[in-house]
A and B are shown apart, each in its own frame.
Chain A
Amino acid sequence: MTSRAPFYFALFVLITAGLALAVLRHVELGIPWLPGEQRPVWLVEARVDFQAQQEPVLASLNIPDQPPGFLLLSEQAASPGYGFSIVEHDGNRRAEWSKRFAEGPQTLYFKAQLIPDTVGDDTPSGPAPVAKPVFWEEPQATAVREVLQQARSKSSNPESLTRELIKLMQPETPEQNTTLLTSGTNYVSLLERMLNHAGIPARIADGLQLEDARRRQTLKPFLQIYNGERWLTFNPHTGAQGLPEHVVLWRQTAVSLLDVMGGSDSQVTFSMLRQTVPALQLARVEANDNGLGFLSLYQLPIEEQSMFRMLLLLPIGALVVAFMRIVIGIRTSGTFMPVLIAVAFVQTSLVPGLIAFIAVVCLGLLMRGYLSALNLLLVSRISALIILVIFITTGLSIVGYQMGFNTGMTVTFFPMIILAWTIERMSILWEEEGAREVLIQGFGSLFVAVVAYLAMSAPLASHLTFNFPELHLVVLGLILLLGQYTGYKLSELRRFHPMKAYEP
């Protein structure tokens, strides 16, 4: 007798591999365990208003491009009468509206769906930015030099220099130099110019504070410096490093937010809404650009996907049949006939399916009675039976339809060949073993089919089998394990009960 250890080890590997892969994909791709799980999504709407001046209009709005901490799910524009396109140059993405002639107040909308995404990575591509040369006039030049000197003495690297600079520039620490500098100028752009002057590449980014159901919001400026590896974001008033939660950087590159040609009095306002979308939908979007995505079925054409949805349910049915036959000990007519019937039930739904199935089999048995009197060869008898089954299903569909039962049509989902063989086997069984055995096996088959149907039609089952195909390794492991079961079947506990009389 060979050792069973390698077999059980292989089983263990199979089951753990299936589970581990599923957990990994859940964590990495965010595929939810349960169907219908929801995740928050921010719907941000930018509204552009301007006065058209009776001439061709070209409006160009900067739109987010890989904002840190968020993932762009979808974007669309709504602006009747305007041509719209998203153009990209110099690493900037801009939405452009154009129209040959417009007059009066104009409103353009741009909508984007953003998902909070923690794994976002914002390393810039392309050449590293360099500090822009800045020219100062006296007396600002001296003040800038002194303030920078002060900040530099208290800092060691670009980040700490930035923090110290912001601290020094605060109105709470009034100093002659800073008051001179801050008076009458844009505070944030002053900071940017001072940092550039100090040799640190800096820029202004516009952020949008996301709050549910807010309207007419404007962008708030944030300061960004480049530390040699990536852009770091600072709050220009508190010096806090990093982007606050729920702030999306709408504009990061130092270009204008909105350009309107052929219009005046232009302005951009934002409104936003917190929505929820199925987590699964998000996972599919994310799967496309993740290394683990190749394992999923989402890339397949939709038609194949729906076929796989059905196909991947079959192992569940097979598991049910294996359990029912090996552990419970239910007799069925044909080993996997119940699974095929259950698949048909999935398409017809249970009660109409049951009625149609029983009707077809009963009518078929009646007709088979006549066929057996004809003394035909087996092959031609089965062939004749297949044709009869097709007649019966057609008849049921037509009669059902005329009587107003659309469910009659669903009978066509049953596999005809399987039905014909079922009828043939039942008929032989009837002649050889009597009606009782036909009823036992018939009800056994139907019972297993119904259980398999219930297992396969559970939303959780179709969700897990389709979205975590690796879980089939676990099903395979369980079936192999069932193949090792040498204990008593439940039905044997009943069958062998007279053994009580011979207690040793």
Chain B
Amino acid sequence: MSWISPFRLQRAGMLSMNRRNVDYIGRYNDRASYPLVDNKLKTKLIAAEYDVSTPQLLQVVRQQHEISHFRELVDELDGFAIKPAKGSGGKGITVITRRDGDQYVKASGAKVTLATLERHLSNILAGLYSLGGTPDVAIVEDLVQPSASLADYSFQGVPDIRIVVFQGYPVMAMLRLATRDSDGKANLHQGAVGVGLDIGTGHSLNAVQFNKAIHLHPDTGLNLANIAIEDWQQMLLMASRCYEATNLGYMGVDLVVDAQKGPLLLELNARPGLAIQMANGRGLLTRLKAVERLKRPHFTPEGRVAFAMETFAQPVQQA
């Protein structure tokens, strides 16, 4: 068992769960804005208003009887993603990458039948994955085709980029790569690899899996030290614009890079996790306080991104 003293954590500026809840989520996130981020359908609509593009919406299944429409729709599709609109933490998301005869192949490679998908849809409608178990709707989205440069790093599934945005300033970012352990999902607690990204350049810093530092992807074996994200400034801008869209002071913005369409907003999170600090090897608290200290905040996404890229850039030390 290995432990770290609370004073060392304090010095490193690590944000704790309790402080995140009381001092940031509780203070800066207006509850009235929560439905915007807790419901992916609403997120999509509001994002469109602020020039933030999202994966194309194919269908919304609201009622049990509409599942038959889903059957007609998927007949013509190869790949798609089924998501519960109010799901949290990636729960209930099923990604189908291709067809194999009558069966559908999930991102993990497992094959499922149409009946399984329909059962999944009815589970979503009943609220199995929604917060508090309230009835939900299922959305069917176009499959994101990850850009080749990033797709190689991920074992399966789409690598996504989580950016923590505080009062419109992108303060910390990481790249999340699915692994065999995480079943094609990009959630760190399920075993995905988190790669810290330098806010200044979009270059990789450190990588962690299951809270341990790693240098190579456990499944693909690729070196994680030399990743560079394209369109970095553009992604930070998208993330920053989400602040205007939702008014949430402290949130996580999840982006993907599509091979054709460029960066797309996947979802917003009003309660972003703390693992990003481990991937970056930095505490969030110092950066959050730097933003809180600003006497004259920037009013445009461009201004905020420029400030963040300058202030939060991490000089390359290791590797």
Contacts and interface: CB of A to CB of B under 8 A. Distances in A.
Interface in A389-435: 428, 432-433
B312 to A, nearest CB: 14
Contact of A499 (B9, B16, B91, B122): B9
Contacts, number: 89
A187 B283 CA distance: 96
Contact of A494 (B2, B27, B115, B212): B2
A489 B123 CA distance: 35
B148 interface: no
Contacts of B282: 502
Interface string A462-494: 000000000000000000000111111100111
B211 A492 contact: no
A61 to B, nearest CB: 71
A499 B123 contact: no
Contact of A486 (B3, B22, B211, B278): B22
B58 interface: no
B6 A488 contact: yes
Contacts of A493: 3-6, 9
Contact count band on A: 20 to 34
Contacts of A1: 27
Contacts of A378: 123, 126-128, 133
B3 A326 contact: no
Contact of A488 (B9, B118, B211, B212): B9
**Of listed B5, B11, B122, B278, residue having the most chain A CB within 10 A:** B278
Contacts of A351: none
B3 A494 contact: yes
A110 B94 CA distance: 85
A326 B18 CA distance: 7
A433 to B, nearest CB: 7
Interface string A427-461: 01000110000000000000000000000000000
A379 B13 CA distance: 45
Contacts of A497: 2-4
B122 A377 contact: yes
B190 interface: yes
Contacts of A291: none
A379 B119 contact: no
Nearest to B189: A433
> Which residue of A1, A483, A492, A496 has the most chain B CB atoms within 10 A of its CB atom?
A496
B110 interface: no
Contact of B18 (A432, A489, A498, A500): A489
A501 interface: yes
Interface in A160-204: none
B132 to A, nearest CB: 12
A385 to B, nearest CB: 13
A253 B34 CA distance: 80
Interface string A311-348: 00000000000000010010000000000000000000
A283 B294 CA distance: 62
Contacts of B316: none
A504 B126 CA distance: 49
Nearest to A381: B126
Contacts of B13: 504
A498 B211 contact: yes
Q: Lowest 3 CB-CB distances: which A-B pairs, in order?
A: A378-B126, A502-B281, A486-B19
Interface of B: 1-6, 8-9, 11-14, 16-19, 22-23, 27, 64, 91, 115, 118-119, 122-123, 126-128, 133, 190, 206, 208, 211-213, 277-278, 281-283
Interface of A: 1, 326, 329, 375, 377-379, 428, 432-433, 483-489, 492-504
